[in-house]
């Protein structure tokens, strides 16, 4: 794996496939994000290896509630905040795990940390200039989410 564009397509493609599988929603890459802000809740996982990185999936709580309903089979009204948080952690875990499998044998072999949640309305990433950033908004007319991977 010699270029970062391939990394972008792997991480974006994996997340698009997972959302389609768990919910039936077809999402597209709407745009490449350049301001690096986050939504209400963000799932985070460290990707540790020779080329370490951090994976972020950021989403509005209402969107995650809807996706959690599809993931669990429970109605949106039945879901607790803990279940919604767990679902986002699982989404991060599935995305990183699937990307890890697709990147095996490349220069981007990594181990996964445990996923965790950050919640804030005004959180923003400040990125060093030498870092490589995958940053995309994925969505359709009904839902959207932000994917960021910083190497």
45-61 pLDDT per residue, tens: 999 998 889 999 999 99
pLDDT in tens, 78-132: 999 999 999 999 999 999 999 999 999 888 899 999 999 999 777 777 777 777 8
pLDDT of residue 34: 63
Q: Which residues of 6-19 are buried (b: 16+ CB within 10 A; e: fewer)?
A: ebbebbbebbbebb
Residue extents of the structural domains in the chain: 4-150
The Cα–Cα gap between 128 and 87 comes to 30
Residue 77 carries which DSSP code? G
Q: Token pair for residue 22?
A: 């768990």
The Cα–Cα gap between 129 and 133 comes to 10
pTM over 0.85: yes
CATH code, residues 4-150: 3.40.1550.10
């Amino acid at each position: 794996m010699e270029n970062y564009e391939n990394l972008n397509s792997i991480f974006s493609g994996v997340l698009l496939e997972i959302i389609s599988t768990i919910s039936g929603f077809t999402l597209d890459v709407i745009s490449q994000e350049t301001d690096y802000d986050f939504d209400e809740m963000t799932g985070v996982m460290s990707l540790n290896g020779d080329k370490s990185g951090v994976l972020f999936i950021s989403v509005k709580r209402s969107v995650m509630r809807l996706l959690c309903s599809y993931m669990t089979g429970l109605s949106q009204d039945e879901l607790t905040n803990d279940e919604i948080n767990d679902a986002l952690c699982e989404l991060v875990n599935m995305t990183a795990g699937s990307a890890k499998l697709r990147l095996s044998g490349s220069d981007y072999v990594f181990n996964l940390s445990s996923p965790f949640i950050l919640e804030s309305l005004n959180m923003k990433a400040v990125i060093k200039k030498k870092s490589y950033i995958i940053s995309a908004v994925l969505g359709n007319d009904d839902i959207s989410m932000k994917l960021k991977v910083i190497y």
